Amino acid sequence: MLSIGALSRASGIPVETLRTWERRYGYPIPERKPSGHRRYAVGIVPRLRRMAEAIARGHRAGDVVGASDEVLAALLRASGAVVPSPSPPAESPAESSLSRLLQAVAELDGPCLTRLLLAEYARLGPLAFLDTRVAPLVHAVGEGWAAGRLEVRHEHFLSERLSDLLRSLRLPHEERAEGPVVLLASLPGEMHGLGLQMAALTLVVAGCRVLLLGTDVPVGQIVSVAREQAVRAVALSVSRATGGAGMAARIQALRGALPRRVALVVGGEGAPPPAVGITVLPDLPALDRWARQLCAGR
């Protein structure tokens, strides 16, 4: 279900126009939640888009809004439009889940977002939850911000809410983890911490112990902690925003300063190409496989 604002963004029709159509023509028809808020079925979006196209091609709103699907299709064909199927393919479970999660982010509904995420975590398990729900959600919100559909407040809201949730999910696994210690951090200039939180949960579920230093950590501090704490590996997260030649040079400098016995792995959309002594992992399943091999002593 969508709010009228979300319906407007999805269909490209202004909120005021949707309200006018509902008042004059009885469409779109909302459902009311117990709170009194109006919600619209996501399935009406394709029809609204066809209606908007018919009006843009010169047909009157009075002829379009109340028309049946067949009449609407005939109007579009008469004006030379390519008419899509009136019954689009049903969303996959993953797409449906992502739609609900995005709606909660768009409405800044923290309790709803947490409730949906916990339900998916319980149903999918940690790795599939991170790989098929959390990672796509973070990517979709970033894309929505870049495209102007969402604002910086939505990205910050998601980051804070997810960080709290991922920490709470990690703690029970930390108590049972007995494998090698992996230090998690990001280098100076990298302020995005969600990648680290996702990696930390992946590692502890695989059996590693995690030492999470957080974002924007100087190279010298990472090296000192790696030496003092008998760290087996250092894992870095690099976002798309900070990837590039400068970050690649800092990663090389870190590799040169770390003891040879300490492995260095890098992940994230901004990770550089693999290099000698530096393992680049493309996604969370790859990190999971690497961590399980590390715990097995291979």
* Residue 157 shares a structural domain with residue 200: no
Phi, psi for residue 287 in degrees, rounded to 5: -65, -40
Summarize the confidence of residues 223-246 as an average pLDDT: 93
Residue 13's CATH number: 1.10.1660.10
Q: Which of 78, 109, 143 is the last residue of a domain?
A: 78
* Structural domain includes residue 83: no
* Residue 229 shares a structural domain with residue 190: yes
* Structural domain includes residue 257: yes
* Structural domain includes residue 9: yes
User: Does residue 45 surpass a pLDDT of 90?
Assistant: no
* Residue 26 shares a structural domain with residue 117: no
Distance CA 60, CA 25 (A): 12
* Structural domain includes residue 57: yes
* Structural domain includes residue 88: no
Domain of 12 in residue numbering reads as 4-78
User: Does residue 38 surpass a pLDDT of 50?
Assistant: yes
* Structural domain includes residue 143: yes
pLDDT digits (tens, 9 = 90+) for 238-295: 998 888 899 999 999 999 999 999 999 999 989 999 899 999 999 999 999 999 999 9
* Structural domain includes residue 84: no
Q: For 194-231, what is the HEC assignment?
A: HHHHHHHHHHHHHCCEEEEEECCCCHHHHHHHHHHCCC
